[in-house]
């Protein structure tokens, strides 16, 4: 190969990322590689930042420990392989001992090699060079990648391209779309009609305030690991993880004829699979969680957004914001869709309910629909909800509540009474007018007037017919364990 044809990834051709929670291991490997002038070594001690670090430095080989406190090693292998920008990067698993079963499972999940740590320096260097060479050769064979690099004559420009593109994109589909054109890195985009899905664990913010940090991370990992596989199954593009929320695009960068159908089918399977998520949570001693999903179909702008110094491939537009608003109206186990998604899916979906809402930022009300299933080739249905009759309380429970805008209270405190109750549903009476689907933060008092909790969260789901005072149905979105125990003890529910 002529010198002018050589692909230079950075000023070093080989980039090594070591992920290990032990600083002593990082120092040992650094010393092994310190005399290798063509190897650029990076060490990440926090497993939760491993993928972000890999996206930033674009490694040619990853060394990863199997035993770490924040995340189980085989799960991290799965994350590296699910993350599109590291899916093909050679991954060498490090373990403290030889275990055939663990090795076999690591290889099945996509590991490229396995070493018992710490191996001899010669072996470490040899394996790094072997796997990096194969990976670099694969990149050289990528004609779109090679054509784009050949269009850049200066090393600095090519380096920036690697850092700003392959270190920032999570999807091969996104990268391939950009590489189709020699002008792929220019700012700007195109208007595209897509279906957008946003999921969120209902009441998880309040729940996480009561749990240890490691438990919160573990619950999110179980949830995201399960849902990521389902989203990939239905060819969705994960635009972003936002804490316990997932933003998914169906129709960009690759548009298909059934984008809306696949989005609804994906949501149905995600809801059905929550029983598996909660089974894993129960085995670990974690609380159960519920998921709300919002889906909307409409035009967005997709492409490179930002400035010449800093840009990213992303999606923007009012329909992204509208999807988030629709999702915010959900309660646990519920999937709500817009009118445009309903029309795109036609008669294939089962509509269980509809309601008129006025999302923030809109001038006119819109109709949203609760989906219970989708037929055709998907044939996925959620069991229709049957609500038990509420128990009429012999002595109503006094409450005080504030209305929430997003996650924030408006400051005003209103009074009311719980007159009927069953599990996570209550009927209240109050002088205050409450708009449907408004979120509330509730302070509950017992029959003697003593404060029971200030951390009960609910959503107003239905306005009832009542005499005099206004009557509403509330669905509790986050019920602390002590409140469930209180209801069970006082009312046997």
Give tens-digit pLDDT for 439-448.
Answer: 899 999 998 8
The pLDDT value given to residue 362: 82
Rounded to an integer, what distance in angstroms lies between the CA atom of residue 96 and that of residue 119?
A: 10
pLDDT attached to residue 218: 93
Q: Count CB atoms within 10 A of the CB of residue 84.
A: 19
C-alpha gyration radius of the chain: 26
Return the closest-CA partner of residue 377 out of 351, 350, 348, 352.
348
Task: Give the pLDDT confidence of 291-309 residue by residue, as tens digits.
Answer: 999 999 999 987 766 665 6
Question: What domains does the chain contain, in order, with CATH numbers?
Answer: 3-179 (3.40.50.2300), 191-381 (3.30.70.1230), 391-491 (2.40.10.220)
Judge whether residue 184 has pLDDT over 90.
no
> Under 8 Å CB-to-CB from 245, ≥6 apart: which residues?
198, 199, 200, 201, 327
pLDDT of residue 152: 52
* Max CA pair span of the chain: 89
C-alpha closest to that of 237 among 257, 251, 225, 224: 251
Q: DSSP state, 346? A: G
Give the angle subtended at the CA of 107 by the CAs of 105 and 113, to the nearest 5°. Answer: 130
| pLDDT (tens digit per residue) in 98-117 | 788 888 888 888 889 998 88
* In the predicted structure, residue 235 carries a pLDDT above the cut 80: yes
Mean pLDDT over each residue of the chain, to the nearest integer = 83
Residue 185 has pLDDT above 80, yes or no: no
pLDDT band at 272 (very low <50, low <70, confident <90, very high): very high
pTM of the model: 0.59
pLDDT given for residue 310 in this prediction: 58
Which of the pair, 363 or 147, is modelled with greater confidence? 363
Which range is least confidently modeled, 232-241, 287-296, 427-436, 463-472?
Answer: 463-472
Residue 283 has pLDDT above 90, yes or no: yes
* DSSP letter assigned to residue 39: E
For residue 29, what pLDDT is reported? 92
pLDDT of residue 5: 40
Q: Would you state the pLDDT for residue 442?
A: 93
Q: What is the pLDDT of residue 165?
A: 47
Q: What are phi and psi of 106, to 5 degrees?
A: -65, -45
What confidence score (pLDDT) does residue 159 get? Answer: 39
Find the range with the poorest average confidence among 47-51, 122-126, 129-133, 308-312. 308-312
405 or 156, greater pLDDT: 405
Q: How confident is the model at residue 144 (pLDDT cuts 50, 70, 90)?
A: low
What was the pLDDT predicted at 466? 64
Task: List, in sequence order, every beta strand (DSSP E) within 171-328.
Answer: 188-201, 237-242, 245-250, 291-306, 311-316
Q: Where does the pLDDT of residue 379 fall: very low under 50, low under 70, confident under 90, or very high at 90 and above?
A: very high
pLDDT value, residue 166: 42
pLDDT in tens, 19-60: 998 899 999 999 999 888 889 999 999 888 888 999 999 899
Q: Is the pLDDT reported for residue 12 higher than 80?
A: no
């Amino acid at each position: 190969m002529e010198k002018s044809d050589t692909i230079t990834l950075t000023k070093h051709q080989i980039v090594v990322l070591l992920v290990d929670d032990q600083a002593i291991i990082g120092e040992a490997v650094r010393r092994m590689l310190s005399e290798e002038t063509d190897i650029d070594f990076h060490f990440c001690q926090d497993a939760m930042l491993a993928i972000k670090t890999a996206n930033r430095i674009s490694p040619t080989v990853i060394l990863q420990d199997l035993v770490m406190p924040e995340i189980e090693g085989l799960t991290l292998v799965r994350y590296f392989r699910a993350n599109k920008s590291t899916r093909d990067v050679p991954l060498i698993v490090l373990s403290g001992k030889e275990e055939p079963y663990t090795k076999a499972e690591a290889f099945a999940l996509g590991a490229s090699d396995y070493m018992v740590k710490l191996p001899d320096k010669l072996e470490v260097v040899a394996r790094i060079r072997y796997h990096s060479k194969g990976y670099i050769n694969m990149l050289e064979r990528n004609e779109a990648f090679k054509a784009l690099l050949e269009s850049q004559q200066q090393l600095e420009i090519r380096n920036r391209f690697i850092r700003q593109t392959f270190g920032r994109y999570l999807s091969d589909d996104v990268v391939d779309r950009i590489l189709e054109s020699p002008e792929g890195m220019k700012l700007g985009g195109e208007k595209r009609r897509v279906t957008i899905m946003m999921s969120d664990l209902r009441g998880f913010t309040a729940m996480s305030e009561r749990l240890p940090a490691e438990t919160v991370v573990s619950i999110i990992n179980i949830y995201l690991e399960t849902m990521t596989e389902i989203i990939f199954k239905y060819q969705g593009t994960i635009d972003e993880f936002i804490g316990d929320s997932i933003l998914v695009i169906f129709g960009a960068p690759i548009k298909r004829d059934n984008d809306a159908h696949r989005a609804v089918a994906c949501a149905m399977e995600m809801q059905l699979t929550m029983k598996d998520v909660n089974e894993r949570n129960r085995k670990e001693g974690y609380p159960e969680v519920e998921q709300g999903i919002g889906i909307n179909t409409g035009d967005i702008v997709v492409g490179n957004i930002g400035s010449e110094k800093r840009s990213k491939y992303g999606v923007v537009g009012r329909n992204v914001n509208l999807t988030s608003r629709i999702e915010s109206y959900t309660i646990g186990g519920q999937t709500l869709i817009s009118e445009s998604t309903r029309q795109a899916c036609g008669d294939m979906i089962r509509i269980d309910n509809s309601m008129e809402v006025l999302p923030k930022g809109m001038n006119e009300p819109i109709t949203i629909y609760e989906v219970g299933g989708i037929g055709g080739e998907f044939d996925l249905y959620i069991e229709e909800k049957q609500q038990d009759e509420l128990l009429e309380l012999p002595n109503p429970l006094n409450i005080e509540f504030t209305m929430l805008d997003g996650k924030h209270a408006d400051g005003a405190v209103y009074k009311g009474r719980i007159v009927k109750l069953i599990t996570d549903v209550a009927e209240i009476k109050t002088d205050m007018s409450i708009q449907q689907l408004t979120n509330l933060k509730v302070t509950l008092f017992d029959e003697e007037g003593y404060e029971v909790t200030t951390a009960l969260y609910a959503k107003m789901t239905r306005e009832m017919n009542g005499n005099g005072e206004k009557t509403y149905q509330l669905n509790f979105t986050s019920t602390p364990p002590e409140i469930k125990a209180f209801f069970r003890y006082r009312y046997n529910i």
